[in-house]
Amino acid sequence: MVGNWLKTSILMAGIVVLFGTVGAALGGAGGMMIALLLAAAMNVYAYWFSDKAVLKMYNAREVDASSAPEFYNMVKELAQNAQLPMPKVYIIDEAQPNAFATGRDPEHAAVAATTGIMRILSQRELRGVMAHELAHVKHRDTLISTISATVAGAISSIAQFGMLFSHGRDRGVHPAVAILIMIMAPIAAMLIQMAISRAREFEADRAGAEISRDPTALAAALKKIHSYAHQIPMETAEQHPETAQMMIINPLSTDGIKGLFSTHPNTEERISRLMAMAS
């Protein structure tokens, strides 16, 4: 837990430095001051509201024991196994099978699953997936994961942000500088995504298998999801690739720059480790 708080603090500090540097380069002292204020406001927003923003982005709808009894009660049982407060439960109307967890701490957590994953998995396999997501909540991975998704998306607009300072100045931003920023922005976003260690997925697999007490179910689920996810596109994830690292399996096509946002470990290795646990 301490490690994730440290990563979160470094991430937020890095954003302030990055925005301040770009603001100074494009707008001088005034640009740097405005950039620092924007960075501070972004950090506050990301900490308190990034989870709600991601859920809204995916048009997630909250369900309860009345509207989705089997799914809700499954999560409730697993949360009790994990000794966690009951998270909010959401369903996303997407054909691609996938799931994620979000929230700044276990007391403000939410888990979400697509209709696609609920359709192709057995109850036992779905149970393994939701246990994996609750493991992320238990380890407090969700804070840095959700913040990094929000921040990476904001970094993608740094070039437009820089152009703000080019208007009204005696001399505009040099075209070469603008082009450099446009090139570096997605790279910076990629680096932020890669700061989220792939090791956390392995750890969530391990802990999720312990919560569900069924490592082979999660292994079988990962195999199915991996197969289907690469055949069925998820439009929202393609439009917001910075959110891909929140999912249990990478939802993106691996073509072009979108492949840079992949922070998931090899699925076969994940399955192999789970099967080793079972044996």
| pLDDT profile of the chain (279 residues), mean per 10 | 62 68 67 71 74 94 98 98 98 97 93 98 98 95 73 61 52 60 62 65 95 98 94 91 87 62 81 95
CA distance 75 to 137: 12
Q: Where are the alpha helices (DSSP H) in the chain?
A: 2-57, 69-81, 115-120, 123-138, 141-155, 158-164, 175-194, 199-212, 215-229, 235-239, 267-278
pLDDT at 78: 98
Q: Which long-range contacts (CB under 8 A, 24 or more apart) does 86-90 make?
A: 87/111, 87/134, 87/137, 88/62, 89/62, 89/63, 89/64, 90/55, 90/60, 90/61, 90/62, 90/63
pTM more than 0.75:
yes
Whole-number Å distance between alpha carbons of 104 and 100: 14
Which among 125, 133, 201, 242 is annotated as catalytic? 133
Other C-beta atoms closer than 10 Å to the C-beta of 93 total 11
Q: Residues for the chain: how many in total?
A: 279
CA 229, 232, 233, 237 torsion-angle sign:
negative
Residue 178 pLDDT: 60
- The helix/strand/coil state of 60 is coil
Q: What is the model's pLDDT at position 233?
A: 93
- Residue position matching structure tokens 């204020």: 37
The CATH architecture one would assign to domain 48-140+197-278 is: 2-Layer Sandwich (3.30)
* pLDDT value at residue 251: 92
What local confidence, expressed as pLDDT, does residue 46 receive?
Answer: 72
Cβ atoms of 100 and 112 within 8 Å: the answer is yes
Kindly report the backbone phi and psi dihedral angles of residue 268, in degrees, each rounded to the nearest multiple of 5, phi listed first.
-60, -40
| Domains of the chain by residue range | 48-140+197-278
As a whole number of angstroms, the distance between CA 90 and CA 105 comes to 17
Give one DSSP letter per residue of 98-145, joined into a string. -EEEE-SSGGG-EEEEEHHHHHHS-HHHHHHHHHHHHHHHHTTHHHHH
**Which residues does 28 contact at the CB level (< 8 Å), separation at least 6?**
165
User: Is position 107 annotated as part of the catalytic site?
Assistant: no
pLDDT given at position 241: 81
Name the residue with tokens 């689920």: 221
